[in-house]
């Protein structure tokens, strides 16, 4: 229910803001707006305002539209010809069309601005012990080090680390990192980027061996999944795993490694709780983790919240700095989205990076459960993506119309209708293909990962 509500709220906000951009500029340009609809298809509810605009809620909530007075779509009374969209100048029509995507960028800027002013919760970029033979381990990265720069760009949070790593990886650049350890010693390291894989593009930190640092945890059971192997075997929260198959367990990391390397193999757990000892036999479930087959029992460690305080922080910024950072973040996301799209078209990046409505709904639910700040950041990200998508020079999208208006401006006459019709068919084909890949990726993630 949380996922559904978050998804529909996301759609409502983005659609209304986008279409209101078209509506607001159209009214300022003297164009009569006949209908402002949230959703497509049959109108479920509507009301008409004093300007004659019908505000409607329609049956299919995956979009919206603003219908304007236009001679190409029906007869227009002589006294209203001056309010027809097609009678306006090229500049006015272009401004009306561009206003939708620009409204999405404006929304993202405002959301980021509010986030930076309200205080951004950050996870400090402190790294744990890299896996054996991973690029980070081969580069000499040590547990407990804080990464302060990547290729000259400053790092303030784990989110920054992920973002900048992804940018460098997609460009094929090695990571030149600056680190500082717990004693204050600064080191410079170079992490080689391996050959491009889907995992490298979708989870670059994991592929490079850059893992989050966690204080050493005792091998004490915390959260236990109701449907997991641990629950079915009778393991209980608060029990200490003193040994597995007779090998003493001193940290939770030892427990995890033992289970990961024992998929489907019977293990004997020695447990202690309130002075009582017992043994339980179980076989970890066999699961896929990328290209690996690992064991999992469906249990997590008991974590003292005080241990994690030093790993988190909150960054506050003033109004001007917040606006500067909001503009920079929106610009970075926009240019990166275009760069990523170009790489997918040229084959330099996998089409698996495309996401459709199911993935968006999943992320909407996850971010909503993580808190208001997380959900607002998600809204801003999707708003930027929507703005970029609509500006692509593809017929049916706003960018396609802008391309027609550019041609009209250069030639002095409108693009012939038969050419626009051909363009619409091409646009429908391209968008259909895009949606196919996005839905295929959604279903693959849902059922096969």
Hey, which residues are catalytic here? Answer: 19
Measured in whole angstroms, the distance separating CA 304 from the mean position of its chain's CA atoms is 30
| Listed residue (241, 259, 261) closest to 249, CA to CA | 241
Q: Classify 90 as helix, strand or coil.
A: helix
* 100, 19 Cβ separation under 8 angstroms: yes
CA distance 267 to 328: 52
CA distance 112 to 298: 36
In 24-76 the beta strands, taken as DSSP E runs, fall at 33-48, 54-68
CA distance 220 to 427: 57
Buried b (16+ CB within 10 A) or exposed e, 410-428: eeeeebeeeeeeebeeebe
CA distance 442 to 237: 35
CA distance 183 to 395: 59
Q: Considering Cα of 196, then 201, then 202, then 208, what sign does the dihedral take?
A: positive
Q: Considering Cα of 262, then 266, then 272, then 273, what sign does the dihedral take?
A: positive
**Block residue for tokens 């202690």:** 272
Quote the crossing angle between the two packed helices 398-411 and 90-118, to the nearest 10°: 140
Integer angstrom CA distances of residue 448 from 196, 365, 385, 439: 21, 20, 26, 14
222-228's contacts with Cβ under 8 Å and 24+ in sequence apart are: 222/299, 222/300, 222/301, 222/302, 222/303, 223/299, 223/300, 224/298, 224/299, 224/300, 225/298, 225/299, 227/298, 228/285, 228/296, 228/297, 228/298, 228/299
């Amino acid at each position: 229910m949380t996922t559904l509500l978050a998804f529909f709220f996301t759609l409502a906000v983005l659609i209304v803001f986008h279409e209101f951009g078209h509506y607001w500029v159209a009214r300022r340009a003297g164009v009569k707006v006949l209908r402002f609809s949230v959703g497509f298809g049959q109108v479920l509810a509507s009301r008409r305002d004093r300007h004659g605009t019908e505000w409607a809620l329609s049956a299919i909530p995956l979009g919206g539209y603003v219908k304007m007075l236009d001679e190409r779509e029906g007869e227009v009374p002589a006294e209203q010809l001056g309010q027809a969209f097609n009678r306006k100048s090229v500049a006015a029509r272009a401004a009306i069309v561009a206003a939708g995507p620009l409204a999405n960028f404006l929304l993202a800027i405002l959301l980021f601005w509010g986030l930076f002013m309200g205080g951004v919760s950050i996870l400090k970029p402190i790294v744990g012990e890299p896996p054996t033979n991973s690029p980070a381990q081969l580069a000499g990265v040590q547990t407990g080090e804080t990464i302060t720069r990547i290729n000259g760009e400053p790092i303030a949070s784990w989110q920054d680390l992920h973002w900048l790593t992804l940018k460098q990886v997609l460009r094929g650049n090695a990571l030149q990192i600056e680190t500082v350890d717990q004693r204050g010693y600064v080191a410079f390291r170079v992490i080689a980027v391996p050959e491009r894989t889907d995992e490298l593009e979708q989870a670059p930190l994991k592929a490079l061996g850059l893992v989050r640092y966690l204080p050493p945890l005792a091998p004490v059971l915390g959260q236990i999944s109701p449907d997991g192997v641990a629950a079915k075997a009778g393991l209980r929260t608060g029990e200490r795993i003193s040994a597995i198959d007779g090998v003493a367990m001193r940290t939770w990391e030892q427990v995890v490694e033992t289970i990961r390397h024992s998929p489907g193999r019977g293990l004997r757990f020695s447990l202690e709780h309130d002075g009582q000892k017992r043994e339980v036999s179980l076989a970890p479930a066999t699961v896929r983790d990328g290209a690996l087959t690992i064991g999992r029992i469906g249990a997590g460690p008991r974590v003292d919240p005080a241990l994690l305080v030093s790993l988190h922080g909150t960054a506050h910024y003033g109004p001007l700095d917040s606006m500067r950072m909001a503009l920079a973040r929106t610009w970075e996301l926009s240019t990166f989205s275009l760069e990523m799209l170009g790489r997918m078209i040229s084959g330099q990046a996998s089409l698996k990076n495309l996401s459709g409505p199911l993935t968006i709904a999943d992320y909407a639910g996850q971010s909503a459960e993580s808190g208001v700040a997380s959900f607002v950041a998600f809204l801003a990200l999707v708003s930027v993506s929507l703005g970029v998508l609509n500006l692509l020079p593809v017929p049916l999208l706003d960018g396609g119309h802008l391309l027609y208006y550019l041609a009209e401006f250069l030639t002095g006459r409108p693009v012939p209708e038969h050419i626009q019709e051909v363009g619409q068919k091409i646009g429908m084909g391209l968008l259909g293909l895009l949606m196919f890949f996005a839905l295929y990726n959604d279903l693959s993630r849902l059922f096969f990962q």
